Amino acid sequence: MTRTAVDPATIAGSDDKGEDEFTAAGRRPTINDVARLARVSKKTVSRVINKSPSVKDDTRTKVEAVIKRYGYAPDPQARGLAFRKSFLIGLIYDNPNPQYVIDMQQGILNAVRGSGYELVVHPCDRRAPNFLTDVRNFVQRQKLFGVVLPPSVSEDERVAQLLTEVECPYVRIASVAFDAPECMLVTHDSEGAAEAARHLADAGHQRIAFISGPSTFKSSHERGRGFADGLAERGLELRPEYRREGAYTFESGVACGKDLLAMRLPPTAVFTGNDEMAAGVYRAARDAGLEIPRDLSVVGFDDSPLAERVWPPLTSVRLPIRDMGRIAAEKLLERALDKKERTQDDGEVFPKLVERRSTASPYSP
Amino acid sequence: MTRTAVDPATIAGSDDKGEDEFTAAGRRPTINDVARLARVSKKTVSRVINKSPSVKDDTRTKVEAVIKRYGYAPDPQARGLAFRKSFLIGLIYDNPNPQYVIDMQQGILNAVRGSGYELVVHPCDRRAPNFLTDVRNFVQRQKLFGVVLPPSVSEDERVAQLLTEVECPYVRIASVAFDAPECMLVTHDSEGAAEAARHLADAGHQRIAFISGPSTFKSSHERGRGFADGLAERGLELRPEYRREGAYTFESGVACGKDLLAMRLPPTAVFTGNDEMAAGVYRAARDAGLEIPRDLSVVGFDDSPLAERVWPPLTSVRLPIRDMGRIAAEKLLERALDKKERTQDDGEVFPKLVERRSTASPYSP
DNA sequence: AAGCACCTTGACCACCGGTGTCAACAGTCA
DNA sequence: TGACTGTTGACACCGGTGGTCAAGGTGCTT
């Protein structure tokens, strides 16, 4: 039986500082030191570290005691060299939203904390000519253990194909499933958008607009589709003249907002693909002399901190981004643990509408 | 002469995909392949990679041609194992501001792009009991090439001492210098704060308040000192009763703002330690029925995107955070390049006041 | 009691893909 | 001819891993 399992967690999580000859000096114990101190061969130490089943319990205990006592942790470089793998998880992203990225990082780190894995971040530009080469170099040279792909990189089939080619495990985070379940974390954006639609429809709005993100994001379509479906449930239609395509930026939100409000029959409610653009609509409304929510209801997407900082506080659809990062990383790590233990999470999360004070019934003078 | 120089840039920056036997398969060429194809020993290839001066020019040319043709790049793990160093730069931070962190990351990555170094992020909690052990484990196990320390971690002498112990180069980013020049990047926050003070004083304000960040940040004191100095220049005093200590969070901004505005003689202008708290003051002012800037002038610090998204747009002191990240990383890399080439940047940056629409002369009815 | 299989362990070697050390081999100059 | 310098390669090593095989212990069977 070949064991490819790799899990230094038990030892890497140790908070000991080491002792004796290893305290003062900067020198850390090696596997040879541990072998000597435990009076076993280094091969046995290796067996313990890699959780080989053919080690007697008291030998294991003895070795683990020495490991813990002297704060030994295997050198990831040496181990990686032998395994032809590193213990680095890559986060490849092309996302303008800092809060999204930070939360995702935090989530991933929560999952790998104390496991000996580390997180390497790699922002990129999907439109750059050397984008794919860059990603390939990054993944292959670092021999990444796995990568997490949030939108919009997750939607790029070229990236998925490339990672398959170089045999690098990945988890794609996206609003709908378009890959094998173990490679996907589905966020069901459409559900959240539908909830926003029902919320606005139930408030009595008829002229309802939608500002999407760029069409290069699948989530843009998905949020649009969910929103239209939600309106349809209430017998309303998302009319083409009330649709605009933004760029997920504040500025594009201002522009689309101004454009919508300049219509002969402007909308009384706007749903935007993210909070940044909602903030842009706030600006447009203010410039048009309109008051939110009296003259215009606004709903955003992301529930970023910004939603609480603008006035009035923005009703927004929340995605549990930290959890997403955590689950994605867990899915990667599962593959190393021989799939023994599966977490409860099935690779799905659902958004949820957070109601604040930016929506009201349409004003009828 | 022992060469510790490490600079795979020339090759790591290559965008070639390789050829022949290395194109189709996932297999990448090793140093042995290059040696064989160039008809030299692998040691000589190693010499070329490490820019050893004792290689004949035509040998070097020959080897470099093969390297380029087959898209060879040395394995960072193997190299690291031999060097007892990795090619990973750590960013250890304890900072609640996502924009700050993302900008810093981006700056660091700009500096190391194409150099073969990668960025490993390590958020932490300075107050956690295992904070130092955690940092030590991270740095030592990964054998980090160097670390960048933004505030507030940069201000922690225990961290600096620990890094010195384990012989890990670091660059501390802070508002004042308190370490050797090659270890410091000074941001001179006090200058920006003074500029804010002069701006408010020149507008005619007399009752001027300051909401600092937590006292665990040296920058809090530094910004306060600079602000007081700026006021003093104009013959004004920063009175103790107009000082509050916040936590760099929106909520703390609201609280301190409400507290100030409830005074018998409330301030007519407020300077806050960051933009988040300024947004909090906005909220407090609105809740008190005050209009900005008519009834209250506000100046923030950071010039985060938030400054443009609130209404009215916030006047704020800008720090060039991306540049700071870039310069910090460059300072680290310089040490590898045998200090031959020094960049122009001396390890200093200066903040700058960005005037928007949140300040005016005090309202006198 | 002997014979047997099985479990556990270690000794040893090769290997991952690079680097340091040192010696050998030019070629040049005195 | 010898000393010196510049260039190159053989070999051990970084700190782990896998593989093979044999030694010793255990428990089981007969």
- Helices (H) and strands (E) counted in chain B, each on its own, are 14, 11
SS3 B252: helix
Q: Confidence band (pLDDT; 50, 70, 90) for B6? A: very low
Contact B86, B112 (CB under 8 A): no
Q: What number is the average pLDDT over the span B141-149?
A: 97
> Could you tell me the two tokens for A284?
């447009």
For A223, residues 6+ apart whose C-beta sits below 8 A from its C-beta are: A175, A189, A190, A192, A193, A212, A213, A273, A301
> How is residue B249 written in tokens?
């969070």
Nucleotide nearest to A57 (CA to C1'): C8
- Is the alpha carbon torsion for A103, A108, A111, A116 positive or negative? negative
Higher pLDDT, B250 or B12: B250
Q: How far is the C-alpha of B328 from the C-alpha of B320, rounded, in Å?
A: 12
Q: Is the CB of B82 under 7 A from strand D?
A: yes
Q: Specify whether the CB–CB gap between B299 and B337 falls below 8 A.
A: no
Name residues of chain A where pLDDT drops below 70: 1-26, 337-345, 365
Q: What is the four-CA torsion angle of B331, B334, B335, B339, rounded to 10 degrees?
A: -130
- Determine the distance in angstroms separating the CA of B277 from the nearest CA of chain A, rounded to an integer: 10
Is A4 at the interface with chain B, CB within 8 A? Answer: no
- State how beta strands A269-272 and A243-245 pair: unpaired
Nucleotide nearest to A76 (CA to C1'): D16
How far is B38 from A325, CA to CA, in rounded Å? 45
Answer for the pair B246, B214: CB distance below 8 angstroms, yes or no: yes
Residue B174: beta bridge partners? B186
Q: Is B287 on the interface with A (CB under 8 A)?
A: no
Q: pTM to 2 decimals?
A: 0.90
Residue A271 forms beta bridges with which residues? A210, A299
Mutate to test the interface with A, among B108, B122, B141, B310 (most CBs of A within 10 A): B141
Interchain contact, B309 vs A311, CB within 8 Å: no
Residue B8 has pLDDT above 50, yes or no: no
In angstroms, the CA B217 to CA B219 distance is 5
**Distance between the alpha carbon (CA) of B56 and the C1' atom of C27, Å:** 13
B99 and A CB contact within 8 Å: yes
Helix H or strand E encompassing A298: strand A297-302
Measured CA to CA in angstroms, residue A188 lies from A225, A318, B203, B237 at distances of 11, 12, 52, 56
Gap from A133 CA to C7 C1', in Å? 50
B123 vs A109: CB contact, 8 Å cut-off? yes
Task: Give residue B97's pLDDT band: very low, low, confident or very high (50, 70, 90).
Answer: confident
**How many other C-beta atoms are found inside a 10 Å radius of the C-beta of residue B323?**
16
B10-14, B277-281, B325-329: range with lowest mean pLDDT: B10-14
Q: Find the range with the poorest average confidence among A42-46, A109-113, B46-50, B342-346.
A: B342-346
What distance in Å separates residue B235's CA from the closest CA in chain A?
35
Which has the minimum average pLDDT: A297-306, A327-336, B10-19, B339-348?
B10-19
User: In this structure, is the CB of residue A138 within 7 Å of any atom belonging to strand D?
Assistant: no
Measured over the CA atoms of residue B172, residue B176, residue B178 and residue B182, the dihedral's sign is positive
Q: Is B314 helix (H, G, I), strand (E, B) or coil?
A: coil
Query: Which of A11, A103, A118 is the best mutation test for B, with the most CBs of B within 10 A?
Result: A118
CA of A335 to C1' of D28 (A): 39
Q: Exposed, middle or buried, B309 (CB in 10 Å: 0-12/13-18/19+)?
A: buried
What residue has token string 């130092």? B132
- The answer to whether the CB atoms of B137 and A98 lie below 8 A apart is no
N-terminal to C-terminal alpha carbon distance within chain B: 78
How does DSSP classify residue B147? E
In this structure, which amino acid lies at residue A12?
A: A
Best interface-test mutation with A: which of B11, B70, B77, B254 has the largest number of A CBs within 10 A? B77
* Contact status of A68 with chain B (Cβ, < 8 Å): no
Integer Cα distance of A238 and A270 in angstroms: 11
Q: What is the CA radius of gyration of chain A?
A: 26
Which pLDDT tens digit goes with each residue over A60-101?
999 999 999 999 999 999 999 999 999 999 999 998 888 899
Nearest CA in chain B to A17: B133
Contacts of A77 in chain B (CB under 8 A): 77-78, 80-81, 86, 143
Residue B331: other Cβ atoms inside 10 A: 24
**What span, in angstroms and rounded, lies between the C-alpha atoms of A38 and A269?**
71
Binned at pLDDT 50, 70 and 90, residue B12 comes out as very low
Q: What is the pLDDT of residue A70?
A: 93
By Cβ distance, the residue of B106, B119, B142 closest to A76 is: B142
The whole-number average pLDDT for the span B332-338 is 78
How far is it, in rounded angstroms, from Cα A257 to Cα A267? 10
Residue B63 CA distance to nucleotide C30 C1' (Å): 35
Distance from CA of B37 to the nearest CA of A (A): 21
Q: How would residue B152 be classed by pLDDT, with cut points 50, 70 and 90?
A: confident
Q: How many angstroms separate the CA of residue B282 from the nearest CA in chain A?
A: 9
E strand spans, chain B: 88-93, 118-123, 146-149, 170-174, 184-186, 208-212, 243-245, 269-272, 297-302, 315-318, 352-354
Query: To 5 degrees, how large is the angle CA A71–CA A73–CA A75?
Result: 145
Cβ of B21 < 7 Å from strand C? no
A118 to chain B, minimum CA–CA distance in Å? 7
Q: What is the mean pLDDT of chain B?
A: 90
pLDDT, position A54:
85
Long-range contacts, B307-310 (Cβ 8 Å, 24+): B307/B275, B307/B278, B307/B354, B307/B356, B308/A250, B308/B356, B309/A250, B309/A276, B309/A279, B309/A283, B309/A306, B309/A309, B309/A310, B310/A309, B310/A310, B310/A311, B310/B278, B310/B279, B310/B282
d(CA A276, CA A292): 16
- Nearest by CB to residue B102, choosing from A78, A101, A143, is A101
What's the pLDDT band for B341 if we cut at 50, 70, 90? low
- Which tens digit of pLDDT belongs to each residue from B158-207? 999 999 999 999 999 999 999 999 999 999 999 999 999 999 999 999 99
pLDDT surpassing 90 at residue B23: no
Q: A94: which residues sit within 8 A by CB, 6+ positions away?
A: A123, A124, A125, A126, A152, A153
Sheet harboring B243-245: ordered strands across?
Answer: B243-245, B208-212, B269-272, B297-302, B315-318, B352-354
In single-letter form, the type of residue at position B137 comes to N
